[in-house]
């Protein structure tokens, strides 16, 4: 066991954002190294977006975002969780490698679960770490194995995609009500303030027709971050439009696809993206939302 460890609420400060980033990158880089993968080498603008997101969560959910600090005041672990209209979400969970396996993860998770105790639904995009899986199972989550699509955008990839079967527009803050409605319909709770944060950093594509609607965020680094729609047809159109909108040479990733998102797997395979298994979408009190691609952090 640790000598002494305290949990304190995360603050909306530069120092705390850096503490979260340091803990998370050490934890995830060590997991990558164990799998024989290189450490993440993220450019400063991507790190700035992560800091901005974590500070946003410290503001919206102070009771759900915690830092574990050791007896000399060094941050050793963190958990970031959110409540959105009865849907609890886990945005980040990490413990410094040198402090792992001593129960810190369990304590952090207990604080985050307490924050979500009144929520009927829960969602986590879980890593492959068996300790994370053990923690989520103990908290009553069902683990849905997930797939990931990855590849480099080039002329051939775009040529393989079918032409769009209807209009897709650039979205703005004016689409907030539409997106919140789509969130409620697919995952049970609106993202609310998270849309403001996503709009700051990501491009938004929207379909809004009499027969249905949908939206999709594309991160600055080419990741399809979040997609919700009223039908698989419109979801497929949005994902196709997202891929077509990326510049040649961009690295694209679409993650957290459970078997329910076959419409997305089909678009990716048609485009020639590489398909692999990666992590779990962990759910409590709900079936996998569909057609829906959760965001790893905003879920
Ligand atoms: C997941 C993580 C946060 C857990 O932190 P930790 O402080 O090591 O966790 P704990 O010591 O509290 O152990 C967690 C549980 O996993 C169990 N566990 C430990 N090793 C295990 C293994 N190899 N297989 C299965 N379960 C294991 C522990 O027994 C413990 O359960 P308990 O509370 O019933 O004793 C930490 O390992 C980590 O940062 N991993 C890398 C980042 C990551 O993948 N985060 C999850 C993102 S979704």
- Going by C-alpha positions, the residue among 107, 80, 98 that lies closest to residue 5 is 107
Of the chain, the percentage scoring pLDDT greater than 90 comes to 94
Compute the distance from residue 71 Cα to the ligand 1 centre, in Å. 21
pLDDT digits (tens, 9 = 90+) for 222-245: 899 999 999 999 999 999 999 999
Task: Look at residue 4 in the predicted model and tell me its pLDDT.
Answer: 78
pLDDT grade, residue 41 (50/70/90)? Answer: confident
Task: Look at residue 15 in the predicted model and tell me its pLDDT.
Answer: 97
Q: What is the spatial distance between Cα 12 and Cα 198, in angstroms, rounded to a whole number?
A: 17
pLDDT digits (tens, 9 = 90+) for 158-191: 999 999 999 999 999 999 999 999 999 999 999 9
Is the pLDDT at 1 greater than 70? The verdict is no
Task: Look at residue 204 in the predicted model and tell me its pLDDT.
Answer: 98
Compute the distance from residue 1 Cα to the ligand 1 centre, in Å. 14
Minimum CA distance residue for ligand 1 atom 48: 126
Is the pLDDT at 2 greater than 60? The verdict is no
Task: Look at residue 133 in the predicted model and tell me its pLDDT.
Answer: 95
Task: Look at residue 3 in the predicted model and tell me its pLDDT.
Answer: 61
Verdict on whether the full-model pTM lies above 0.85: yes
SS3 166: coil
The CB of 5 under 6 Å from ligand 1? The reply is no
pLDDT digits (tens, 9 = 90+) for 47-67: 999 999 999 999 999 999 999
pLDDT digits (tens, 9 = 90+) for 135-147: 999 999 999 999 9
What's the full length of the chain, in residues? 299
Sign, Cα dihedral of 277, 281, 286, 292: negative
Would you identify the CATH topology of the domain 147-293? Aminopeptidase (3.40.630)
pLDDT digits (tens, 9 = 90+) for 101-139: 999 999 999 999 999 999 999 999 999 999 999 999 999
The atom number, within ligand 1, closest to the CA of 135 reads 15
Average pLDDT, rounded, for the chain = 96
Domain residue limits, the chain: 5-119, 147-293
Q: What is the mean pLDDT of residues 21-40?
A: 93
Question: Helices 176-187 and 193-201: crossing angle, nearest 10°?
Answer: 110
The CB of 78 under 6 Å from ligand 1? The reply is no
Q: What is the mean pLDDT of residues 10-31?
A: 96
Would you identify the CATH topology of the domain 5-119? Aminopeptidase (3.40.630)
The CB of 152 under 6 Å from ligand 1? The reply is no
Q: What is the spatial distance between Cα 189 and Cα 125, in angstroms, rounded to a whole number?
A: 16
* Cβ pair 230, 247 in contact under 8 A: no
Ligand 1, residues 78, 79, 131: which to mutate, most atoms within 8 A of Cβ?
Answer: 131
Task: Look at residue 109 in the predicted model and tell me its pLDDT.
Answer: 97
Q: Please indicate whether the domains covering 5-119 and 147-293 agree at the CATH topology level.
A: yes
Minimum CA distance residue for ligand 1 atom 18: 131
- Going by C-alpha positions, the residue among 197, 35, 19 that lies closest to residue 127 is 35
Question: Helices 130-138 and 104-115: crossing angle, nearest 10°?
Answer: 40
Is the pLDDT at 248 greater than 70? The verdict is yes
């Amino acid at each position: 066991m640790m000598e002494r460890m305290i949990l304190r609420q995360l603050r909306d400060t530069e120092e705390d954002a850096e503490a979260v980033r340091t803990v998370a990158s050490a934890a995830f880089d060590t997991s990558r190294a164990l799998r024989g993968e290189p450490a993440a080498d993220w450019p400063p603008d991507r790190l700035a977006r992560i800091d901005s997101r974590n500070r946003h969560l410290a503001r919206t959910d102070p009771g759900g975002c915690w830092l574990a600090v050791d007896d000399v005041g060094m941050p050793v672990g963190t958990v970031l969780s959110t409540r959105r209209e009865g849907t609890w979400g886990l945005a980040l969970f990490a413990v410094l490698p040198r402090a792992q396996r001593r129960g810190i993860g369990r304590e952090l998770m207990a604080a985050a679960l307490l924050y979500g105790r009144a929520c009927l639904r829960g969602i986590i995009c879980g890593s492959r770490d068996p300790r994370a899986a053990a923690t989520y199972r103990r908290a009553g989550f069902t683990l849905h194995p997930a797939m990931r699509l990855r590849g480099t955008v080039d002329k051939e990839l775009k040529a393989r995609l079918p032409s769009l079967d209807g209009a897709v527009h650039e979205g703005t803050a004016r689409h907030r009500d539409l997106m919140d409605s789509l969130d409620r319909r697919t995952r049970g709770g609106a993202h609310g303030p998270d849309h403001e944060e996503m709009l700051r950093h990501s491009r938004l594509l929207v379909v809004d027709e009499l027969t249905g609607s949908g939206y999709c965020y594309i991160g600055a680094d080419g990741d399809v971050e979040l997609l919700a729609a009223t039908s698989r047809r419109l979801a497929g159109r949005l994902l196709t439009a997202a891929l077509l909108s990326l510049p040649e040479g961009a690295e694209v990733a679409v993650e957290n696809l459970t078997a329910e998102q076959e419409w997305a797997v089909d678009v990716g395979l048609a485009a020639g993206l590489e398909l692999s298994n990666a992590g779990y979408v962990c759910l409590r009190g709900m079936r996998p939302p569909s057609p829906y691609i959760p965001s790893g952090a905003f879920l």
